[in-house]
Structure 1
Amino acid sequence: MKLTAKEDIEAPIAFVNAVLTDFETWERAAMRRGADVERTDRMPALGVGMEWKVAFTFRGKTRKLNIKLASMLAEQSLGFDVMSKPAEAVFGIEMAEMGPRRTRIVLTMELKPRTLAARLFLQSLKLAKAKVNRRFTLRLSQLCAGVEDRYRNREKV
């Protein structure tokens, strides 16, 4: 199953890229929401090959993911491979400069089941694909609004 959403942000592409690649902030945000996040690579700098183990509770069960930064083109795109026992996903973020203070983000996620239970779950998601896509787009809009707020607050200082 493939989900896609796009949104425009009122901020320069360099700022958007800096926010999206600030992985320590994303780790802390996940921990504030109750997830256990552990960085498993030994890379000293930002780059392809960064890995995390993430555990969180969803629908009453503890879910565990391994996330790997699979590709990265500065101010263009980020690609992540997400692995878990029941399913795997490829997650991509593309950035395009629309103007000096406007950036378009395109988010894509492709889910692939690895077990029968995951296959049944994805089949039920496909039946409600319009609703799932709306929620996916809403989450991207919220993320983009947060990036815009950070940019506006940074300008005022």
Structure 2
Amino acid sequence: MKLTATEDLDLPADRAFALLTDTPYFERQLLRRGIEVTRTAEGAGPEDLRWQVAYKPVPQIDGADLWIVEHAPPGRLVMGAKSGGFTLDLVAEVTALSRRQCRLSVKAELSASGLRNTAALAALRLKAPAIGKTFSEQVGRVARDAERRARDRETAQATSE
């Protein structure tokens, strides 16, 4: 199953990429939503980061392993995730439209291995339009949140001067 979403941001591309790849911020956001996040590997660069995540209220769902495949500022982030027989590949690209605007394009591809998981994925494909809409809305929320955080930082810097 492939999902895509695109959002325009009123931020310079390098600033947007920095906000969108702020891993400590996103770890805190997941924890606030009841998702247990544990860093399982750290290293010199972003590509060395790995996480184990689990949704506490639903213990029947296996946790997922997440990792960064490619971190190429200011424009490309590739992440991978695996849970049970499912694999997710996520590609986020930030493209400069002007000095003060950029476009965030996110592509996700979910694949399955094994008969049971393939059947479950086939069932999900029946709901692809609704899932695609939710995916686009979530990417939009992340984009608006990045713009808000940028404005908050600018306001904080202006008041401290």
TM-score by length of 2: 0.89
Look up the match of 1:7.
7
Equivalent residue number for residue 114 of structure 1: 113
Percent of pairs with identical residues: 26
Larger helix proportion, structure 1 or 2? 2
Query: Is contact 1:57–1:63 with CA below 8 Å preserved after alignment?
Result: no
* Equivalences, count: 156
CA distance in 2, matches of 1:139, 1:94: 16
2:62–2:84 Cα contact (<8 Å) kept: no
2:20 alignment partner in structure 1:
20
Q: CA deviation at 1:3?
A: 0.6
Identify unmatched segments of 5+ residues in structure 2.
157-161
Q: CA–CA distance in 2 between the matches of 1:108 and 1:15?
A: 21
Distance 1:144 1:21 in 2: 12
User: 1:90 aligns to what?
Assistant: 89
Contact 2:90/2:106 (<8 A) preserved = yes
Quote the residue 1:63 is aligned against: 62
Runs (5+) with no aligned partner, structure 1: none
The 3-state SS of whatever aligns with 2:48 is coil
Query: Greater strand percent: which structure?
Result: 1
| 2:5 and 2:105 in contact (8 A); partners too | yes
Conserved? CA contact 2:14–2:75, under 8 Å: no
Preserved contact between residue 90 and residue 108 of structure 2 (Cα < 8 Å): yes
Match of 2:153 in 1: 154
